[in-house]
Amino acid sequence: ETGVTQTPRHLVMGMTNKKSLKCEQHLGHNAMYWYKQSAKKPLELMFVYNFKEQTENNSVPSRFSPECPNSSHLFLHLHTLQPEDSALYLCASSPLTSGGYEQYFGPGTRLTVT
Amino acid sequence: KQEVTQIPAALSVPEGENLVLNCSFTDSAIYNLQWFRQDPGKGLTSLLLIQSSQREQTSGRLNASLDKSSGRSTLYIAASQPGDSATYLCAVGGRTTDSWGKLQFGAGTQVVVTP
């Protein structure tokens, strides 16, 4: 186990639904990340949080809304998604050393938008 | 903008053969380079991290080299085993102040090792 958990592991939602993805890390890290992984494409960084503060929003559409209530928890709130948003959503955490590049990943949430 | 490319996209080898996976990047001003492994439906596991000042890193049967001047890294896996079947991802960390935590990933090489 990497110490980063994600729930749910699978999610099917309609375009008008509202759902949330949850990530929790048990590693004592202070930075957390959301990534999107679509088939045959490189991982895309979506959001970065340091000490609960958002430091990066990589031009993500507003239908994705992140929330970081503390350094151990990260949420991704979803609403009015499109079919092209279907992907594997990965959460990661890192200590503040090594430029934030020592990232530990969760198993991901497989999202299908119908 | 940093572009990371991995060739081939897929690779199949018989058990016991050595694996050679390639990664290229367009901007040589990197902080470090990592190789990750991803099993189907699972997250990523870091295999090796090479700092920009290093030329290679080794862990067991794995060896990764880094040539910044040519923008290339190679991951060697000796004496492959069926358990090595996975997707291998290369990721580059930038050196600029606004690059903190922003890994640039390649699309990966899917490896199948047949018994």
Task: Please state whether A80 falls in left (phi above 0), alpha (psi between -120 and 50) or beta.
Answer: left
Please indicate whether, in this complex, the C-beta atoms of B102 and A56 are within 8 angstroms of each other.
yes
**Range with the poorest average pLDDT among A95-99, B28-32, B73-77:** A95-99
Residue range B16-26: average pLDDT? Answer: 97
Q: What Cα–Cα distance (Å) separates residue A1 from each residue in A71, B17, B35, B115?
A: 19, 29, 18, 27
Residue B38 has pLDDT above 90, yes or no: yes
Please indicate whether, in this complex, the C-beta atoms of A33 and B101 are within 8 angstroms of each other.
yes
Chain B: residue whose CA lies nearest to A49: B101
Q: What is the pLDDT of residues A27-49, one digit of tens each?
A: 999 999 999 999 888 999 999 99
Omega of the bond leading into B8 within 30 degrees of 0 (cis): yes
3-state SS class at A85: helix
Taking the C-alpha atoms of residue B85 and residue B14, their distance in angstroms, rounded to an integer, is 11
Q: What is the pLDDT of residues A58-88, one digit of tens each?
A: 889 999 999 999 999 999 999 999 999 999 9
Please indicate whether, in this complex, the C-beta atoms of A90 and B42 are within 8 angstroms of each other.
no
Q: What is the pLDDT of residues B50-63, one digit of tens each?
A: 999 999 999 999 99
What does the CA dihedral A89, B62, B49, B4 come to, rounded to 10 degrees?
A: -60
Residue A99 has pLDDT above 90, yes or no: no
Residues in A whose CB is inside 8 Å of some CB of B read: 2, 4, 31, 33, 40-43, 45, 48, 50, 55-56, 88, 90, 92, 94, 98-108, 110
Question: Could you please report the per-residue DSSP string of B9-50?
Answer: SEEEEETTPPEEEEEEES---EEEEEEEEE-TTS-EEEEEEE
Locate all alpha helices (DSSP H) within B1-115, ordered by sequence.
none
> What does the pLDDT read at residue A4?
96
Residue A101: which of B32, B41, B106 has the nearest Cβ? B32
